[in-house]
Amino acid sequence: MEGSMAFVDGITYYVASTSYTGDMLVMRYDENWNYLGSKVLIEQVHFPTGMAFDEQRFYVAYLNTSQRNDTLFFPCYPNVHLAAFDREWNLLDDVAVTGYVPSENMKPASHGSSFMEIDCTSPTI
């Protein structure tokens, strides 16, 4: 489980993803590392790898893995996202930074890998 931490107003927030199909969640701990609870933030996510707090919002970078050949299994087509949450961890915005899409004209290779096209246009923020 890979994740990021932020210490805000006496609470440590740890953001990570569950294994395999993945859900991004935040876990809360007090100053003595007593567990205070958790909340699922976004489903089908892997590798939330950065978090920032600007006194009003939390920002988390992650890989969205919701595009899959099957709803529960790999391969998946990961896209980098940046999500913003309020102080209660309610989702405010979720911006795709990359736009990988499976190619309709390509078939997976016999050894299980997949082809994908890349949309290199920048999203409007």
Name which of 57, 59, 94, 58 is nearest 79 in CA terms: 94
Sheet holding 58-64, edge to edge: 45-53, 58-64, 79-85, 91-96
Q: What distances in angstroms separate CA 55 from CA 6, 28, 36, 82, one per listed residue? A: 11, 17, 21, 17
Name which of 59, 25, 74 is nearest 45 in CA terms: 25
What are the pLDDT digits (tens) for 3-30?
A: 788 999 999 999 988 876 678 899 999 9
> Does the pLDDT value for residue 118 go beyond 90?
no
Q: How do the domains of the chain map onto residue ranges?
A: 3-119
What are the pLDDT digits (tens) for 64-75?
A: 877 766 655 656
